[in-house]
Amino acid sequence: MLGLLLAADEPAPVLGIFWADATVAAFVATVLFALMVWYLIARARSGLKIPEVRKLPGLDAFDEAIGRATEMGRPVHYSPGISAVSSTQTIASFGILGHVAKLCAKYDTRLIQTNADITTYGVAEEVIRQAYLEAGRPDAFNAEDVRFLSDWQFGYASGVLGIFQREKPAANICIGAFWAEALLFMEAGVNQGMIQVAGTANNAQLPFFVATADYALIAEEIYAASAYLSKEPVMLGTVVAEDWARIIVFALIIVGTILSFFQQKNWLGGILKK
Amino acid sequence: MRKEVPMIITALSALAAVFGNFFWLGHHWGVMDLLDNWFNRSFAFAALIGVINLSIIHINAIRRRKENWVYSLILLIAMYGYAILGLIQTTDGPQASWIYNNVLTPLDSTVFALLAFYITSASYRAFRARTVEATVLLVTAIVVMLGVAPIGAVLFTDKISSLAQWLLNYANAGTYRAFSIAGSLGAMATALRITLGLERAHLGGAQ
Amino acid sequence: MQGFDWGTFVGVLFTIAVWTYLYKENPIWRVAEHIYIGLATAWSIGYYFYSYVKPTIMDDILTKHNWLYIVPVILGLMMYLRYFPSVAWLARYPMSFWVGYGAGYGLAFSFAPMLTWIAQTFVKLNSFNNIVLWLAVVTGLMYFFFTVNRENAVVKYGALVGRYFIMVGLGAAFGNTVLYRYNLFIDRARYVLGFLHLIK
Amino acid sequence: MEALMNIDRRWLFLVVFVIVFGILIHPIGLPIVIGPDAQKAYDYVQGLPAGSVVWLGIEFNQSSKGELLPMVLAVANQLFKNNDKIVVSGMWQYGTELVQPYIENIAQKYGKQYGVDWINLGWRPGNATFLHQATQDLNAACAGVDHTGQPLSSFPIMQSVKALTPDYFKLAIVFDAGTPGLPDAYIPIVYEPLHLPLLDGTIQMSVQENKNYLQAGQIVAMIPGSAGAAQYEKLVGVPGQALASQDPLSLGALFVTLLVILGNIGYFATRGKKA
């Protein structure tokens, strides 16, 4: 259709409907995971008890960071990373941004939010405006403090460095998908004595966040953080589902490992990586 | 219309991607390619938002004669001048590509390369052996650094290279597998939250 | 000065302008910073126009009459409605598509590689190397438990060991990144030295 | 001891300048030992039957060319020497244009003809979309033309290459500097469903992450970073920028190591005093 797909030799469907062997196991796993999420959401909705999510280190840090900025009468800087809104890390960051913006509105502290992507810019403005509204301070919202800087990685980075120099924020919060610019922000922040909270699931940047930020959220924690901050049982249910899936992963690894003692090529592995 | 339709659009686009990737019919119809195309192109049509936002901020700065307004003027001249040049002769045109190669690329690469300096000062200031765990991090870092660069073998025989290789190949590879599996689960849970309309930041309202 | 390389000369000047920032934030750096942001944003406009906007309208819609491509045009243009308060909420439509597409991409592509990683962890635990790899995966994953009771001995000690493996992974990332970043600077230094004819 | 904790970082920056510029001008010629990763990658490419078609994915631009360009050149030398055929393409703008003149030179050196022994399909917008389409139909993905706009039907090499699948390609070598690249595009789109062997030429800072893919068999081998590129240049016998960069790189690593140690000495000394 559409003249888009002109596959020279299209493979026959697997099991009648699937595209390739590889997609069968992945599809089944996806459906299983979705069912677990659905079950836990239903449980949470009907008010049944779901396991408690452990407190993530660093989540209280937002109060501390914004409190300090308030005391000093200086702004807070927030960056959602340089990916577009299509990245799940960015969406996770917006949950946190809502929380941060509400705190800023409450304490009457200026929040400078910068973007490297027009889509995050659009969403961020909505999120912050809504947060100020919910905090009862719609008048305090200033659209000019939500900024698009550049869609070039280092154009954005140098813009943020400029804001650090000229507007002197007292707190710097960077949560989302970061690449090399992470260390530029962290070092400039340290140099100016900012209190910094950072988090990403881009693993290569983690050592710098862990070493230079005051509080760091690592890898999967940023996804759980937005659910945790929402305090909605329904959202927390999805975090529980992650743990259930993890237990299944353990079970698979243990069974598969035992099987590998008996068979050169074990059937479980065969199913998974078809 | 304000909340429901966007929620439906979100869910449908997500499900279409699932259909397009897993099912034969989805592939046959080229669903994923169509979505990819829509995504890239819609994005391009919205690109002027960035220019508008920068213009608003910097024109205001100039009008109000804010401190440093001269730089705002420089930014606007560079942006509009180059945008017009790029639109007239495409970004591959002779003058446009000259500017790209001799101004934009050096600026971009040099700002990127500033990181060599920041990583140096961070190494000096931030990486402390405060705990046993932090010590493990530091020792691994040093072994890998010197094990990979040729100087390690000169100073400590090639045992350090073998050690670095071993750390990278086993302990480290396993750890990154754990990271990646955990990351997939987190991304999957977030994707499901979005599809089900639980995560609503993009609909103008944090949860 | 026949054949003087003006292009590289300008490039070297801007390179040095950025380096001045290392000493101190200063007007030269500010000029470079603002030129950079202005040019980069402008470049993207030309790029989007010739890569997507023009081909979509001229080729796909007007020549090939591929009417489905009107959808992204409308979606993209809807983003500008955010400047008109009474209809600003319509800008949520394209954003919902982008977010939904991203979520769908996650749903569609996350699990296949993950299953391969799980299957590749089915190793015979008969050598030290294999045991280390296996333990790193299992204990590293335990670190991320959010709800399971940490009093459970397996989870508690597993997560503890996992932390050490995570530190090895982060240490490796740190070591490798140092080398990579130095190489970036070496490349810039070669650019300047090459211009000065100090290296071949 | 307090002084050790508080050196102004600008002094450190100055030392970095002196080390890198100084040693680039006066190299010391540290010996290069071939590592197992580079050797394995080299052997894999050597083991390809002559005449194999290989995809070179140029997934980087000027910013990372210091590490990846030397790799591309060494690999291109090896492939042409072995009479293999090369298809150059990529998802990063300016990547394919960046390598074009260099590969053209190498092709001339081995008497290889454009359009017969190798081709540059150029960069196409769309990131992963482009790769996805390339696995279905190369001609459609490239809108039927190469990087200069010549019709693909006029090149003999394109008669035997229809799509990025194991039917036509023996190997895809991905030189990747980030996103879009290996983990987000080549592994899910090319390896997982099609099982086309991937060889990864990577920047140093992705090495630790990509080792997972190597262990899992999702890539057959990797050329790790600048050091790997230098070893590869040595293996193929074409010394270039990577080999020349190893001296300053080594001294940089040594300097950072000394700073970590110095910082910690200062930390422990002053901590002891406070307690």
What CATH number is given to the structural domain containing A123? Answer: 3.40.50
Same domain, A161 and A265: no
A vs C: CB pairs below 8 A: 157
pLDDT at A6 over 60: no
Domain that holds residue B173: 129-195
Burial D32-64 (b: 16+ CB within 10 A, else e): beebebbebbbeebeebeeebbbbbbbbbbbbb
Which of C96, C110, C118 is the best residue to mutate to test the B interface, defined by the most B CB atoms within 10 Å of its own CB? C96
Question: Which of B113, B144, B167 is where one domain is finished?
Answer: B113
Same domain, A81 and A213: yes
Q: Which residue of D has its CA nearest to B30?
A: D133
Same domain, A189 and A167: yes
The pLDDT-based confidence of B6 (bands split at 50, 70, 90) is very high
To the nearest whole Å, the CA of D8 is away from the closest chain A CA by: 11
pLDDT reported for residue B206:
41
- B98 interface with C at CB cutoff 8 Å: yes
Residue A1 lies inside a defined structural domain of this protein: no
CA atoms within 13 A on the CB side of B85: 21
φ and ψ at residue A55, rounded to 5 degrees: -70, 130
Whole-angstrom distance, CA of residue D41 vs CA of residue D47:
10
Q: Which residues of C touch D253 (CB under 8 A)?
A: 178-179, 182
Same domain, B41 and B52: no
Q: Which residues of D touch C123 (CB under 8 A)?
A: none
Same domain, A174 and A256: no
Per the structure, how many domains does chain B have? 3
Q: Using CA of residue B93, residue B94, residue B95, residue B96, what is the dihedral sign?
A: positive
Same domain, B13 and B59: no
Whole-angstrom distance, CA of residue A77 vs CA of residue A219:
22
pLDDT reported for residue A57:
76
Q: Which residue of C has its CA nearest to B194?
A: C103
| Average pLDDT score over residue span B2-26 | 92
pLDDT at D70 over 90: yes
The pLDDT-based confidence of D275 (bands split at 50, 70, 90) is very low
pLDDT reported for residue C2:
58
The closest of A93, A32, A200, A86 to C114, measured between CA atoms, is A32
Whole-angstrom distance, CA of residue D28 vs CA of residue D20:
12
| Average pLDDT score over residue span A95-106 | 94
Strands (E), chain D: 53-59, 85-90, 118-123, 171-176, 198-202, 221-224
Per the structure, how many domains does chain A have? 2
Q: Which residue of D has its CA nearest to C177?
A: D205
Flag if C180 and D226 touch (Cβ within 8 Å). yes
In DSSP notation, B60-73 reads HHHHTT-TTHHHHH
pLDDT at D193 over 70: yes
pLDDT at B200 over 90: no
Residue B203 lies inside a defined structural domain of this protein: no
Flag if A8 and D162 touch (Cβ within 8 Å). yes
| Average pLDDT score over residue span D205-230 | 95
pLDDT reported for residue A138:
93
Which domains does chain D show, CATH number per domain?
A: 36-242 (3.40.50)
pLDDT at A263 over 80: no
Same domain, A143 and A66: yes
Residues β-bridged to residue A14:
A18
- The partner residue sitting opposite C144, judged by closest CB among A3, A220, A252, is A220
pLDDT at A8 over 80: no
pLDDT reported for residue D149:
86
The pLDDT-based confidence of B204 (bands split at 50, 70, 90) is low
Tokens of D183: 């983990």
Same domain, B42 and B13: yes
Same domain, B100 and B133: no
Least confidently predicted of B72-76, C134-138, D109-113, D149-153: D149-153
Nearby residues of B173 by Cβ (< 8 Å), 6 or more positions away: C133, C136, D211, D212, D214, D215
pLDDT at A38 over 90: yes
Same domain, A266 and A213: no
Residue A74 lies inside a defined structural domain of this protein: yes
Residue A157 lies inside a defined structural domain of this protein: yes
- The partner residue sitting opposite B185, judged by closest CB among A227, A235, A245, is A245
| Average pLDDT score over residue span A142-155 | 93
SS3 state at A7: coil
The closest of A146, A103, A145 to A124, measured between CA atoms, is A146
Q: Which residues of A touch C120 (CB under 8 A)?
A: 269, 273
Whole-angstrom distance, CA of residue C101 vs CA of residue B32:
10
Residue B90 lies inside a defined structural domain of this protein: yes
Least confidently predicted of A133-137, B167-171, C127-131, D122-126: D122-126
Flag if D262 and B36 touch (Cβ within 8 Å). no
Q: Which residue of D has its CA nearest to A10?
A: D136
- The partner residue sitting opposite C33, judged by closest CB among A30, A162, A268, is A162
To the nearest whole Å, the CA of D10 is away from the closest chain C CA by: 6
Residue B207 lies inside a defined structural domain of this protein: no
Sequence letter at residue D33: V
Sequence letter at residue C117: W
Residue-wise pLDDT for C14-42, tens only, equals: 999 999 999 999 999 999 999 999 999 99
Tell me which range, B194-198, C18-22, D91-95, is most confidently predicted by mean pLDDT.
C18-22
Least confidently predicted of A270-274, D11-15, D26-30, D219-223: A270-274
In the complex, which subunits touch A with 3 or more CB pairs below 8 angstroms?
B, C, D
pLDDT reported for residue C173:
95
Same domain, A263 and A181: no
In the complex, which subunits touch C with 3 or more CB pairs below 8 angstroms?
A, B, D
In DSSP notation, chain C reads -TT--HHHHHHHHHHHHHHHHHH---HHHHHHHHHHHHHHHHHHHHHHIIIIIHIIIIIIIIIT--GGGHHHHHHHHHGGGGGSGGGGGGGHHHHHHHHHHHHHHHHHHSHHHHHHHHHHT---S-SHHHHHHHHHHHHHHHHT-SSS-TTSHHHHHHHHHHHHHHHHHHHHHHHHHHHHHHHHHHHHHHHHHHHTTS--
Q: Which residues of C touch A87 (CB under 8 A)?
A: 102
pLDDT reported for residue C138:
96
pLDDT at D40 over 60: yes
To the nearest whole Å, the CA of D168 is away from the closest chain C CA by: 24
**Percent of chain A, pLDDT > 70?**
96
- The partner residue sitting opposite B79, judged by closest CB among C41, C114, C191, is C41
Residue B53 lies inside a defined structural domain of this protein: yes
Same domain, B135 and B181: yes
Nearby residues of C74 by Cβ (< 8 Å), 6 or more positions away: none
Same domain, A77 and A141: yes
Same domain, B39 and B58: no
The pLDDT-based confidence of B207 (bands split at 50, 70, 90) is very low
pLDDT at A265 over 90: no
The closest of C45, B33, B10, C51 to A4, measured between CA atoms, is B33
- The partner residue sitting opposite A253, judged by closest CB among C102, C118, C147, is C118
- C58 interface with B at CB cutoff 8 Å: no
| Average pLDDT score over residue span D215-229 | 96
H or E stretch at A174: strand A171-177
In DSSP notation, D235-247 reads HHT---HHHHHHH
Mean pLDDT estimate for chain B: 92
| Average pLDDT score over residue span C130-144 | 95
Mean pLDDT estimate for chain A: 89
pLDDT at A53 over 80: yes
Distances (CA, A) of D13 to A111, A184, B114, D10: 33, 15, 10, 5
Q: Which residues of D touch B142 (CB under 8 A)?
A: 257, 260
Residue B134 lies inside a defined structural domain of this protein: yes
To the nearest whole Å, the CA of D215 is away from the closest chain B CA by: 7
pLDDT reported for residue A9:
53
Residue-wise pLDDT for D15-27, tens only, equals: 999 999 999 999 9
Whole-angstrom distance, CA of residue D157 vs CA of residue D52:
11
Same domain, A262 and A182: no
CB under 8 A, 24+ apart: contacts of A30-37: A30/B18, A30/B22, A30/B188, A30/C107, A30/C111, A32/A248, A33/A241, A33/A245, A33/B188, A33/B189, A33/B192, A33/C111, A34/B192, A36/A241, A36/A244, A36/A245, A37/A237, A37/A238, A37/A241, A37/B189, A37/B192, A37/B196
pLDDT at D161 over 70: yes
Residue-wise pLDDT for A190-212, tens only, equals: 999 999 999 999 888 999 999 89
Residue B124 lies inside a defined structural domain of this protein: no
Residue-wise pLDDT for C59-84, tens only, equals: 889 999 999 999 999 999 999 999 99
- The partner residue sitting opposite C188, judged by closest CB among B78, B103, B110, is B110
Q: Which residues of C touch D216 (CB under 8 A)?
A: 116-117, 120
Domain that holds residue A260: 21-49+237-272
Q: Using CA of residue C19, residue C20, residue C21, residue C22, what is the dihedral sign?
A: positive
pLDDT at A115 over 90: yes
To the nearest whole Å, the CA of B69 is away from the closest chain A CA by: 12
SS3 state at D56: strand
Which residues 112-171 of chain C have a CB within 8 Å of chain B?
Answer: 113-114, 117-118, 120-121, 129, 132-141, 143-144, 162-171
Tokens of B153: 């073998």
Residue A126 lies inside a defined structural domain of this protein: yes
Q: Could you tell me which residues of chain D have a Cβ less than 8 Å from any Cβ in chain A?
A: 9, 133, 136-137, 139-140, 162-163, 167, 178-179, 192-193, 205-206, 208-209
Q: Which residues of B touch C50 (CB under 8 A)?
A: 90-91
Flag if A26 and B186 touch (Cβ within 8 Å). no
Q: Which residues of C touch B173 (CB under 8 A)?
A: 133, 136
Flag if A8 and D137 touch (Cβ within 8 Å). yes
To the nearest whole Å, the CA of A69 is away from the closest chain C CA by: 23
Provide the CA B13 distance to its chain's centre, in angstroms.
23
Same domain, A109 and A205: yes
Same domain, B39 and B56: no
- D30 interface with B at CB cutoff 8 Å: yes
Q: Which residue of D has its CA nearest to A177?
A: D179
Same domain, A119 and A75: yes
In the complex, which subunits touch D with 3 or more CB pairs below 8 angstroms?
A, B, C
Tokens of C130: 């294999």
pLDDT at D174 over 80: yes
User: Kind of pairing, strands D53-59 and D221-224?
Assistant: unpaired
Q: Which residue of A has its CA nearest to B114?
A: A184
Residue B147 lies inside a defined structural domain of this protein: yes
Residue B76 lies inside a defined structural domain of this protein: yes
Same domain, A96 and A200: yes
The closest of C92, C173, A173 to D204, measured between CA atoms, is C173
Flag if A25 and C112 touch (Cβ within 8 Å). yes
Nearby residues of D156 by Cβ (< 8 Å), 6 or more positions away: D115, D116
pLDDT at C1 over 70: no
pLDDT at D1 over 70: no
